[in-house]
Amino acid sequence: MRPPGTLHERVATQVRLRIRDGVYPVGAALPSESEMCAEFGVSRGPVRQAMAALRAEGLVTITQGRPATVRGRTPARGIATFTPFTRWVESTGRVAGNRTVEVARRRSPGAESVVEVVRVRLLDGVPAMLERSTFTEPVGTLVLGFDTDSGSITDFLIGAGVRFATIEHQLDAVAADPADAGHLGIEPGAPLLRERRVSRDEHGVAFEYADDRYRPDLVTFTLTSSG
Amino acid sequence: MRPPGTLHERVATQVRLRIRDGVYPVGAALPSESEMCAEFGVSRGPVRQAMAALRAEGLVTITQGRPATVRGRTPARGIATFTPFTRWVESTGRVAGNRTVEVARRRSPGAESVVEVVRVRLLDGVPAMLERSTFTEPVGTLVLGFDTDSGSITDFLIGAGVRFATIEHQLDAVAADPADAGHLGIEPGAPLLRERRVSRDEHGVAFEYADDRYRPDLVTFTLTSSG
DNA sequence: AAGTGGTCTAGACCACGCC
DNA sequence: GCGTGGTCTAGACCACTTG
């Protein structure tokens, strides 16, 4: 086997590259499923799985009875396809930064000790999001050994072997409290977009609880769904 | 054939009902795929498609090598799997209501005429969301012939043959203006979760622009992503 | 070792869009 | 009518988790 990964991943990767490079221009029809089957030497199952992934990323439009067409070249800012803040900012060609407010190990009476990190996340140098994360052990100890000003905690943990099997996101809106306002440079009471996240490992055990508050004038979440 | 719909839809509906009614309690293991195949008399394909839908709705957790388990009873307010407000409310066993504030046909100078609808959406009788929708023609004329107090505009339009090929969602937070506050029974300046939607047909032509403002104490958006 | 879900094949029929 | 994607079957092998 030449390339790594499953068949449907290889097909998805190839088609993604061709869309990005303009081999399949925006608005153009993609090859039919049977043509892709012939080209990649696979059956319809992997091809369909790959196309479903591209549709979820907003890259293609699929309609019964007609060829799939290219919708755009760049995937939408995925909440659905989870991307850490730093990686997302850099993928849009901007500069990400971090200002750590607090790193602490805490133990509540009768509870396990946890590690708390509070950071201001910067977008081109401007405070755009206030992140409050709580890590359980043993992940918390890993975080204590990381320079939290240097970049993505998530990417660091992935590199250390931590598996983010599922991430639950909950979105709502809150009024900025005085602490939020001070760190983000806005008025107290101003509306903020709040994303609460719970990250779990492959056993379903939660190891990170996060409360991220975004300035809605600087960051919005977008996604495309197909009906 | 007794029940309507495709096989994977029937399987998904049955499992959804059993989770909602506690036949499969939260945290419990679901029957294996092969058991479901035997019970419903179908092959693995439809069963897997049904389970993938339930996972996307946040109802179940699926891990390789272990049985799927029940995560929760109520599906998340689906952004990823687009569900109209009325259908979502009723799927959680609550009562949806509508109070139409305004239905109007407008024409700006040098522009096509559009139809605007402003509605308060009720959750168990409580104002939970203020919806401002703008429809282009010819869809707008269809909307004018619909009793907007009676239920879902989206489901009405789908029944009339309108195709919602893709829906783009943009989420942020805004402060309630005096009109928002009055309709939703909150203080001006209170934070609201705003969802702006653009619906397009199969040709990529937009026909609906919506601005929905949710009370964050009554409705939040959740979704689960896998890393 | 046994059972689970993840992937893949090769075939079939159906619903829909287009000519 | 023809080609498209949507669904479904029956079987197979693999990766993973658990006893």
- Interface touch A171/B220, C-beta < 8 Å: yes
Return the CATH number of the domain spanning residue range A7-70: 1.10.10.10
- The C-alpha atoms of residue B82 and residue B68 are separated, in whole angstroms, by 24
Do you know the residue count of chain B? 227
- What the block records as the tokens of A98 is 């971090």
- What the block records as the tokens of A42 is 């696979």
- Interface touch B220/A172, C-beta < 8 Å: yes
Q: From the CB of residue A45, how many other CB atoms can be counted at a distance below 10 Å?
A: 12
Contact assessment for residue B122 and residue B128, using Cβ atoms and an 8 Å cutoff: yes
For position B107, what pLDDT does the model report?
81
Measured over the CA atoms of residue B87, residue B91, residue B92 and residue B94, the dihedral's sign is positive
Tell me how far the alpha carbon of residue A24 is from its chain's centroid: 26
- Specify the pairing of strand B191-200 against strand A221-226: unpaired
3-class DSSP assignment, residue A127: strand
Report residue A108's pLDDT band, with 50, 70 and 90 as the boundaries.
low
Contact assessment for residue B51 and residue B24, using Cβ atoms and an 8 Å cutoff: no
Going by C-alpha positions, the residue among A29, A24, A227 that lies closest to residue B201 is A227
Backbone φ and ψ for B33, nearest 5 degrees, come out as -60, -40
Determine the residue of chain A that is closest to B226 in CA distance.
A166
Q: Mean pLDDT over residues A158-162, rounded?
A: 80
Half-sphere exposure of B97 (CA within 13 A, CB side): 10
Half-sphere exposure of A185 (CA within 13 A, CB side): 10
Going by C-alpha positions, the residue among A204, A198, A169, A213 that lies closest to residue A81 is A169
Which part of chain B has CATH 3.40.1410.10?
77-222
- The C-alpha atoms of residue A59 and residue A56 are separated, in whole angstroms, by 8
Which of A43, A54, A163, A172 is best to mutate for the B interface (most B CBs within 10 A)?
A172
Residue A13 (CA) to nucleotide C6 (C1'), in angstroms, measures 19
For the segment(s) B77-222, the CATH number from 3.50.50.60, 3.40.1410.10, 3.40.640.10, 3.40.190.10 is 3.40.1410.10
Closest CA of chain B from A95, distance in Å? 21
A117: left (phi over 0), alpha (psi -120 to 50) or beta: beta
Among B79, B167, B191, whose Cβ lies nearest the Cβ of A191?
Answer: B191
b or e along B161-193 (b: 16 or more beta carbons within 10 Å of the residue's beta carbon)?
ebebbbbbbbbbbbbbeeebbebbebeeebbbb
> What is the pLDDT tens value at each position of chain B, 227 positions in all?
345 678 998 999 899 999 988 999 988 999 999 999 999 999 999 999 999 988 877 788 888 888 998 987 766 665 656 678 887 787 677 889 999 999 999 886 666 788 999 999 999 999 999 999 999 888 898 999 899 898 889 888 888 888 787 777 888 899 999 999 999 999 999 999 999 888 877 666 778 899 999 998 888 887 666 55
Residues from chain B that touch A168, judged by Cβ atoms under 8 A, are 58, 222-224
Give the contacts of B221 (CB within 8 A, at least 6 positions apart). A170, A171, A172, B76, B77, B79, B171, B193, B195
Determine the residue of chain B that is closest to A188 in CA distance.
B189
Contact assessment for residue B49 and residue B10, using Cβ atoms and an 8 Å cutoff: no
Is pTM beyond 0.85 here?
no
Q: What is the pLDDT of residues A47-67, one digit of tens each?
A: 999 999 888 777 888 888 889
Among A81, A191, A225, whose Cβ lies nearest the Cβ of B79?
Answer: A225
Which part of chain B has CATH 1.10.10.10?
7-70
